[in-house]
């Protein structure tokens, strides 16, 4: 049995992550599931009820046993690393409040895993993808809708959730959009003329009235567009074009960043456009290698000239 005090502590920590740390709702839910799984293991492993006192007595041996258990039930190294991160963060938070030593937990090494590098499309492939999705539907306004969404992904570097999350109050689309990204972080994104024209063309033929609080992009029944439908239309288009399975909606965002960097864009500026908190994330996102990063550094740093 998990003691109410421990459950309450977990919920307070998660609420703090959301309110103060700015973590996205999906991240908070993933952390809740990770902790629930960890608590369930401890309860079975120790054979007793689980409360904050037991958390304070965790040992390195127990942590290793948990990680072995997780790998034994098929949890990937990547997912286990995320779970361990959640556990460490919670234990450190609890230790500050209860005054115990969290070292046995915090010193547990995270499993190593090969990070998946993004695979952007070529500029020609990205343009072909946009042109092709327009022709996938026999309904004109649906084709215009799909083209407009992909143009926002590639032309503005939006996440699919950000594109289909646009509301009537964001219209008409001007030279920039105010985007609320992950963790509630707001950024201003320039909108290229091609993207503005694509959205306008969709709106001209969209059969639904768009109120300020209603979604811009609609499904055929008038509800908010499901991101799965965008994924499906891209799947059909990539099969037609002979593109790999990595040609997904998210790859359009990768392509935006990579092509912008390859055209001389500043890495810091691209970081802001994408809404990344860390430059290292942008570096991986644009598939930039160390040599390219040093070129950017040499061109920008006053002492490097």
**For the packed helices 123-133 and 227-241, what is the interaxial angle rounded to 10 degrees?**
110
Per the CB < 8 A criterion, the answer to whether 87 and 109 are in contact is no
Per the CB < 8 A criterion, the answer to whether 198 and 151 are in contact is yes
CA–CA dist 273, 287 (Å, integer)? 16
Residues 69, 59, 101, 14: what is their CA dihedral angle, to the nearest 10 degrees?
20
- The tokens of 228 are what? 């799965």
CA–CA dist 58, 53 (Å, integer)? 9
Active site residues: 159, 182, 250, 253, 276, 285
Any idea what DSSP says for residue 113? -
Q: For 179, list phi and psi in degrees, rounded to 5.
A: -110, 135
Would you say how long the chain is, in residues? 305
Would you call the peptide bond into 172 cis, given omega within 30 degrees of 0 as the criterion?
yes
Distances (CA, A) of 4 to 11, 58, 135, 303: 11, 19, 56, 58
Cα 6 to its chain centre, rounded Å, is: 29
């Amino acid at each position: 049995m998990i003691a109410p005090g421990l459950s309450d502590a977990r919920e307070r920590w998660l609420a703090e992550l959301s309110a103060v740390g700015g973590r996205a709702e999906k991240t908070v839910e993933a952390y809740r599931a990770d902790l629930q799984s960890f608590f369930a293991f401890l309860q079975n492993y120790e054979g007793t009820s689980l409360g904050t006192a037991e958390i304070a007595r965790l040992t390195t041996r127990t942590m290793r046993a948990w990680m072995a258990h997780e790998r034994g039930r098929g949890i990937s190294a990547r997912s286990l690393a995320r779970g361990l991160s959640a556990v460490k963060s919670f234990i450190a938070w609890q230790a500050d409040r209860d005054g115990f030593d969290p070292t046995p937990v915090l010193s547990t090494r995270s499993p190593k895993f090969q990070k998946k590098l993004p695979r952007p499309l070529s500029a020609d492939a990205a343009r072909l993808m946009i042109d092709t999705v327009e022709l996938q539907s026999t309904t004109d306004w649906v084709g215009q809708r799909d083209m407009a969404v992909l143009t926002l992904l590639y032309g503005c570097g939006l996440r699919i959730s950000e594109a289909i999350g646009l509301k009537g109050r964001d219209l008409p689309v001007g030279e920039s959009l105010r985007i609320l990204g992950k963790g509630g972080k707001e950024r201003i994104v320039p909108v290229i003329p091609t993207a503005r024209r694509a959205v306008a063309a969709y709106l001209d033929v969209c059969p639904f009235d768009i109120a300020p609080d209603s979604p811009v992009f609609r499904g055929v029944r008038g509800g908010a567009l499901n991101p799965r439908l965008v994924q499906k239309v891209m799947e059909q288009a990539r099969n037609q074009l002979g593109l790999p399975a990595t040609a997904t909606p998210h790859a359009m965002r990768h392509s935006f960043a990579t092509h912008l960097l390859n055209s001389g864009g500043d890495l810091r500026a691209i970081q802001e456009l994408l809404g990344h908190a860390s430059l290292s994330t942008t570096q991986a996102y644009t598939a930039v290698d160390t040599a390219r990063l040093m070129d950017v550094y040499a061109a920008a740093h006053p002492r490097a000239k």
